[in-house]
Structure 1
Amino acid sequence: MKILIIEDEKAVSNDLLFTIKKIWESRPQLNIFQVYTVKESINYLETEEIPDLIFSDIQLGDGTCFEIFRQIEIKSPVIFCTAYDEFAIQAFKANGIDYILKPFMTETIRKALDKYDNLRKLFSNNTSAPNYEGILKLLSELREENRVASILVYIKDRILPIKLEDIALFFLEENDIYLLTLDGKKYSSNKSLDELEKITGNYFFRANRQFLVSRRIISSAHNFFSRKLALNLTIPFSPQIIISKEKKTTFLDWLSQVTK
C-alpha cells in the first residue's frame, strides 16, 4: 500500500503521516511518501510508481494541486485536505472525491480511509481520471459567490470599510499584513493573506506568499530571470512583484480570463 501526501506545511504533513500510520498500524507494507510543492509532486509522479492513494492540499506554496493533475493523468483516488468552506466541500462531493476539512481530526481521517477501503475495487477498475478541471471551475465560481464587498480595517477606535474595488493589493511586510488602496493609502489588516485570498474572489491573484494583487492594477507582465514573470503595475509600488515559473501558467490563464 503506497500513499503520497502533498502538503506544503511540513508540520501538517507530518501530523497526517503519523495519524494514518496510527489508524493503519496493523496494515502490512504501508509506505507513505511526502512532497511539499507542485514541482516536487510532478517530479515524483513522473519518476515513481503511481500511489494507491493521494492526500493533497489544494493551495500549495507554488500553485494549486490542480496544476499537478493538468500535467499528469492520475487515476489514483485523491482525498483533499482543504480549508475551504462547506460550499466548496459540496463541489468535491458532487465529483465523488472525499475531503478532510482543516484542521482535521483523527476520526475524520479514519472515515476517509474507511471510504477508500470500501471503494478500492471501484477505483482499481476506473479507467478515466477525475474531472479536476471541473472542480477548479466550481471553486472559482464559489469564490466569486462568497466574495465580500468590503474589507474592514481598524484605526484606533474606528472601524473603516474599504471597498474591494478600491484596493490595489494586500502584502506582507515585516510579519504584518497591509492593504494598499488605488489612491495610495496604506492600512493594516487583521486577516492573513490566506484568509484574504478566500474572501476576495477570483479578481485577486495570489502572486506568492507575500502579495495578493488586484487585476485592476496589472498593466502587463514581462519575462524575468529563470522563466519567472515580473508584473508591471499602473500604480507606484516597491518591491517588484514576481510570479514564479511554477505559477506562471496559472497566472496567465487567470490574466486572460479576468477583465479590469
Structure 2
Amino acid sequence: MNVLIIEDEKPAARRLKRMLSAIGIDAHTMLHSVEESIQWFLENEHPDLIFLDIQLSDGLSFEIFEEVEIQSAIIFTTAYDEYALKAFKLNSIDYVLKPIDEEELQVAVEKFRTQQKRVAALGLSIEDIRKLFANPVDQKFKKRLTVRVGQHIKIIPIGEVECFFSENKSTYIFTKEKRSYLLDNSLEHWQKQIDPIRFFRVNRTFIVQMDAIKDIIAFSNSRLKLILNSYHDSEIIVSRERVKEFKNWIG
C-alpha cells in the first residue's frame, strides 16, 4: 500500500508515521503545505491512501482539490470538527480528530482495507480503485471565475465566492474579501457551471456556498434564514419549496 501523509506539524507527522508503522503501514512520503502538496501531486503518481490534515501552514488542504484532481482515498486528520461535512463530500474514507487515538486510526484504516477487498473481489485494478475513489463529477465544474475590474481582468478561485445573486436584472458574486463583482450571463447559467456539492440555489435570487454559511435560523412559513460569514446586504431566505432539499444538501 502506497501511503502519503500531509501534515504541517512535523512532530505530529512523525507520530502518525510511527502509529501507522505499528499497524503494518509504511508512509514513505510526508508533505507539509498546500503549495508543496500541489506541486508533488503534479509530478508524482498518486498514492493509494492519503492522511490529510485540514489546516496546513499556508491554508486549508481543500485548496489542493481546487488545483489537482486527487486520485486517492483520503483519511482526514484535524483538531477541529467544523470541516467534517466538507471532508466527506470529497474522496474521504474517514475523519479522525486530533490527538489521534490508536483505536480510531485502526478503524479508519480497516474501513479503507475493506473498500479495497470489495473492489478486488470484482477483479478491478488499482487504477480502477483510484477512479472509484476519485470525484470525476467535479471535473466539469468551474474552479475559477474571471471578472472585469475597470480595464483589468481579475481571476477569482471558486472557493473565494460566498454567494451568487441577482439584482436589477444583473448577476453578481460576493467574495470573502467582502466585494461584489458583476458577471456575464444569468443566475441560471452559473447554477449549471458550479459544483452542486459546494453551492445551492436557495431561492430565485441567491446561490450560496456551504462553507460561507455561518448560521441557519428558523423563519416564518416553514422557511429558513441564512447568515453568511461576510455578506449582509440583504436577507437570504431558503424558499419553502426548497427547504427539504436544502436540509438534504447540508447532510
Q: What is the TM-score with the length of structure 1 in the denominator?
A: 0.48
Q: Which has the higher contact order (CA 8 A, sep 6+)?
A: 1
Q: What is the TM-score with the length of structure 2 in the denominator?
A: 0.49
